[in-house]
Chains A and B, each alone.
Chain A
Amino acid sequence: MRTILISFAVFTLMWMPMPASAQANEPDLAKAQSFVVALADEAIIILSSETTRAGREASFSKLLNEKANMRRIARFTLGQFGRKISKPDFETYQALLNTFIVKVYANRLGEYSDEKVIVGKAQAKKKNVIVESRIEFVNGRDPIDIDWWLRLEKDGSFTLFDVRVLGVWMAQEQRDSFASVLKNNRGDINALLNHLRSKISSDAENG
């Protein structure tokens, strides 16, 4: 009788749904949605409260370093060239890319300070989670759909990998542009580094 009861208990436990945290490598979708809510809130606060460009860029840089895995983004944006690059060149590229991204997106997102973010459904595949959201503007502009691609890290936290605005993934867009520069310069990483330096310095002059 005891054996039957134990067998029944084991059988029942096998079919009981396990809590999300206990399932190996399964991202917790609610946690991912909360991550996006917090990230979007912080971004809106920066865009609406930082009045100077330097202040906005500094806060945006801090936010990105905290919430995004910049090393993974750097690898991705290099595409197939990421396998060939030397460590010193990669470190130089990483530093330039971080500055470049902050300057590009702190300004591109400058228009989106009067907004309300509504987080929608999330879907997961392996360590990837896509969280959908809609940006609604106070001034009556048409709403914009934004998707957030998060990645589950080894420690169980989430980091931001890419953002899709109006159907366009931003990191993929940068990868395509960088690949074009590399291809047109026969794979010379220095050409890409110089392009990035040039953009960053011209931005500083115009800013």
Chain B
Amino acid sequence: MMKSIQNLLLASLIATSLAACAGSGALEAAPNSDRDPYENFNRKMFAVEQTLDAYVLKPVAKGYLYVPQPVRRSFRNFLNNLISPVTLANDLFQGEMQRASTTALRLGINTVIGIGGLFDPATRLGLERHEEDFGQTLATYGVAPGPYLYIPMLGPSPPRDLFGWGVDWLFDPVTYVGDESLTGPILRYTLDGVDARATNMGIIDEIERSSIDFYATVRSLYRQNRESEINNGVTNIDDLPDIDDLDDLDDF
């Protein structure tokens, strides 16, 4: 019964995301850094997130920092290894065979030699880690992100990425561990979030402290970082904004 409800919830999530994606076709024009039609709602959700962060996530992450660094490093390796099958599936969906073979080799080496992923000998062998998700796969097929949405504890989640998140859930082996399909992914997601918050404690606090509009800063960071992920981190000078006209404004 519980499983049926979970599947129903998942199906609804996917259906909602699909509908939102379909509706975003007209927005496929050049990305506008300010495009945020639900800004008022998003800012309220962002405020909820900040409250949850202040009272739950940050204190837990601070406590986690008492765990010795090598143990945290091993745990991070373990989490990275656990998500590898999702990356592998999306490497294949994107036709990135070289990257798929890197992910497959990493998964094999780190699981066997790295004792279940606790260590990362693959990186030392020159097999660099990368992550892919179905949101990125959709982007490579030309699907636009849709309107910006902020969901507490999920973070920036435009419809394309929200839908991708649901698909990745289905491809994630952790989903099929145990009787409850939601328990594994939620547990992994929570632990991943705590570890990421702890690891980046200093820089996140510094960005919040120095931002004149923290909500807009997070939105910009997300959009730029996401674009970079979709392009596999490759820098293309043709993608830069044209700044030639700035030189014409030198004199008043």
Interface residues of A, dominant DSSP = helix
Q: Which of B202, B206, B249 has the most CB of A within 10 A?
A: B249
Give chain B's interface residue range (CB within 8 Å of chain A): 35 or more
Looking at A3-11, A46-54, A57-65, A171-179, the stretch in contact with chain B turns out to be: A171-179
Give CA–CA (A121, B69) in the complex, Å.
Answer: 34
What are 24 pairs between A and B in contact, CB < 8 Å?
Answer: A75-B246, A75-B249, A82-B246, A82-B249, A107-B206, A111-B203, A125-B238, A128-B237, A128-B240, A130-B237, A130-B240, A145-B233, A151-B243, A167-B233, A168-B228, A172-B33, A172-B220, A173-B217, A175-B33, A177-B220, A179-B34, A179-B216, A180-B219, A195-B213
B240 touches A167 (CB 8 A): no
Q: Which of A91-118 contact B (CB under 8 A)?
A: 103-104, 107-108, 111
Residue from B33, B203, B233, B243 whose CB has the most chain A CB atoms within 10 Å:
B243
Give residues 174-225 of B contacting A (CB, 8 Å): 202-203, 206-207, 209-213, 215-217, 219-221, 224-225
Lowest 4 CB-CB distances: which A-B pairs, in order?
A167-B228, A180-B216, A176-B220, A195-B212
CB-CB nearest in chain B for A173: B220
A residues 42-90 near B (Cβ < 8 Å) are 71-72, 75-76, 82-83, 87, 90
Task: Provide the A26-46 mask, 1 if CB < 8 A to any CB of B, else 0.
Answer: 000000000000000000000
Interface residues on A, range: 35 or more
Q: Indicate if the CB atoms of B235 and A132 lie closer than 8 Å.
A: yes
Question: Which residues on the A side are within 8 Å of B210 (C-beta)?
Answer: 103-104, 107-108, 199, 203
C-alpha gap A103/B212 in the complex (Å)? 13
A132 to B237, CA, bound (A): 11
A128 to B239, CA, bound (A): 12
B233 touches A108 (CB 8 A): no
